[in-house]
Amino acid sequence: MLKRAIRQAGGGRSRVLICPFAWRDPKEAADFAKKLFRGLGARSVEVLDIRDHAQAVMQVSNADIIWYSGGLQKRQVLALAGVPGLVRTLQTAYANGTVMVGGSAGAAVMSKLMISGGSSGTAHTRSGLGFLPKVVLDQHVIARSREWRLRQVISKNRRLVGVGLDERTGVLIQNGIFRVYGKSQVIVTEWKQGQLSERRYKRGDKFTV
């Protein structure tokens, strides 16, 4: 997936920006991501500086790829939303074609309505980064038996569509078409004809929402 993202964004010349703030140790996550992207041929890799508003906005505006770390999605959103205007700048970048990449919590943050956690039968939600206004992303859905979270959220938000990614599985979204990559499955949950409907997709499948 990352190799494909780099190719899509311009190859080795693409400028990669790291948002490591979901991880408990952002420096550790940033170092991991820098090594990963450089190993895949990206020559320009830097970490978002949220201490400097003007610098952060400029970094986002100049990036070709923005990577969001795993960890706790709430931490990532709170860190980015703490910089005035930065979330809007990220949304503009996405609309203008900047490639957004994230695994686990890094995928979940891309929804407008974001699942932030949940146990004992209650899914917790809050505002995400808003790149996907009609989609609620969740992760580890099969491996950690989280299918119920999307069912619950979509039952309460029936105009939205849940897209659940299992481990080592992801989707590439281009022109509104989702293409599945990886080892496991993607579960799509939506409200149709008065009830919940679920579809499962595997590597190579395509779908729209």
Residues annotated as catalytic (active site), given as ranges: 104, 140, 167
Cα–Cα distance between 5 and 87 in angstroms, integer? 21
Residues 6+ apart with CB under 8 A from 109: 22, 68, 73, 76, 77, 102, 128, 129
Cα–Cα distance between 90 and 137 in angstroms, integer? 18
192 bridge partner residues: 195
Amino acid at 11: G
Count CB neighbours of 115 within 10 A.
Answer: 24
Between the alpha carbon of residue 196 and those of residues 39, 68, 161, the distances in Å are 43, 30, 10
